[in-house]
Amino acid sequence: MVIRAGLYSAAVVIGVIVVVTILGCLLTIVTILTRPNLRKLVNVPLVSLSCAGLLYAICGPALWIHHFLHPQWEPPVALCWFESYITTVLFGVLIGHMLCIALQRYFIVCTYSTRLKSTCVLITMLLLAWLLPFVFFLPLNVLEEIKVDPKIMRCGSAGTTSLWAKILPAIVSIIIPYVASLVCYALIQNHVRKSRNRVMANAENDANRLAVAFSGGERGDACGKGDDASPSTSTATAHSLISPRKASDGGVWMGDDRSSSGDEEQNTGDQNKPGKPKVIFLAPPAANHARTDKQQRASQGSSSQHNAAERQITKMMMTLFAVFTACCMPMTLMVMIHDKVPSEAFMVGSILMALNGALNPIVYGLMNKNIRQGYKHIWDRILNYIT
């Protein structure tokens, strides 16, 4: 009786998770495809991952509910084969998308090659993420007997005695993509840490150079004041920069009588006159300095906003990978050591695997402002249409 109540509870929980997953994946796909500020290359893997999660929820956990409610049910052979094959394939597709997203983040953050950041490379990786699991899981489902496993309470080949039949597809479609994703995120973290340390070191060096230059200027001024016959160069330069004299045509004169001209075309006739000071005509400095400062501030602001956006996206993708690890890896490990795991643990692992698809849209909404606003916009339109 307790086991029956546990199965019913698991069926209800998985049913709720399936509904939330389907709604969340559909909402994510519609939001990214309809919002102009989200139709970008960086969001293409999220659309593909949402499609994979949607198919997994329909073909996998939705069928598990019937197994939990009717433990003695024996489905038709074709349906059992389809359930086993499509569930394992879509799980491999999900892991392949984790690798694709990790590689995309690595190419954007750590490399300077434009080819690796191109649309062609991304589409190729997504196609491989979809196709390879279909190829490598096919022998396992063709050569091995597919039936309802009483431990995992669904159709599968987890109880097969052929170890190599499980190891090969697991290595190619699960272990290698997962380890490669982990390595990519580790390299990203290391690159970000080195960049931060380099920026801090450069800032400290600049501050030290400014301090040395400032103290050297003060010492030069002190020496100049002590010797009236030879005023210091720094004091004269500072005086000429701070107090420029205006010329007759509205330009600004820089320097003193000993300065040399850089404008030879305007002063050709004056160069032959001895004793006449050579003049440099420049644009009014206030406008130039204001324009330069404004351009620098705009460039720095745009660069900082871009870096902040990239950091936010990278953090969201790493959180997505962490959620996937927490939800899916326990069940994967239990399947590999099938005989040593009790059926109750498989039930918990099944619920966690189903939960991953429901948590992904929540992660998007919590960690990306544009996606969150897109969710709100879609829901507002739906509510306005209903009411």
3 state SS of 147: strand
pLDDT confidence of residue 312: 87
Res. 127 pLDDT band, cuts 50 70 90: very high
The pTM of the whole model exceeds 0.85: no
What are residue 155's phi and psi, to 5 degrees? -70, 140
- Rounded to an integer, the average pLDDT of 160-187 is 84
Q: Is the pLDDT of residue 357 over 70?
A: yes
| Higher-scoring residue by pLDDT: 93, 243 | 93
Q: Is the pLDDT of residue 99 over 60?
A: yes
Sheet holding 281-282, edge to edge: 245-246, 252-253, 281-282
As a whole-number percent, the residues of the chain with pLDDT over 70 amount to 73
pLDDT confidence of residue 271: 46
Q: Is the pLDDT of residue 69 over 80?
A: yes
* Closest of 100, 152, 207, 117 to residue 343, by C-alpha: 152
Q: Which residue type sits at 340?
A: K
Nearest-angstrom CA–CA distance, 330 and 327: 7
> Tens digit of pLDDT for each residue in 216-253?
655 555 444 444 444 444 444 434 433 444 444 433 33
Domains in the chain: ranges and CATH: 2-200+344-386 (1.20.1070.10), 243-289 (no CATH)
- Rounded to an integer, the average pLDDT of 133-145 is 85
Sequential DSSP letters for 224-261: HHH-TTS--HHHHHHHHHHSPEE-TTS-EE-S-TT---
Q: Is the pLDDT of residue 178 over 70?
A: yes
Buried b (16+ CB within 10 A) or exposed e, 219-244: ebeeebeeeeeeebebbeeeeeeeeb
Q: Is the pLDDT of residue 179 over 80?
A: yes
Strand partners, 155: 148
pLDDT confidence of residue 94: 96
pLDDT confidence of residue 359: 96
- Rounded to an integer, the average pLDDT of 161-189 is 85
Q: Is the pLDDT of residue 38 over 90?
A: yes
pLDDT confidence of residue 367: 94
> Tens digit of pLDDT for each residue in 280-316?
444 455 555 555 666 666 655 566 666 777 888 899 9
Nearest-angstrom CA–CA distance, 129 and 323: 19
pLDDT confidence of residue 358: 96
Q: Is the pLDDT of residue 41 over 60?
A: yes
- Rounded to an integer, the average pLDDT of 152-173 is 75
Considering only CA atoms, give the Rg of the chain: 34
Q: Is the pLDDT of residue 125 over 70?
A: yes
| Higher-scoring residue by pLDDT: 213, 39 | 39
Output the CA torsion sign for 242, 247, 250, 252.
negative
Res. 64 pLDDT band, cuts 50 70 90: very high
- Rounded to an integer, the average pLDDT of 184-210 is 87
pLDDT confidence of residue 306: 65
pLDDT confidence of residue 244: 43
Q: Which helix (H) or strand (E) holds 281?
A: strand 281-282
pLDDT confidence of residue 262: 41
- Rounded to an integer, the average pLDDT of 174-197 is 93
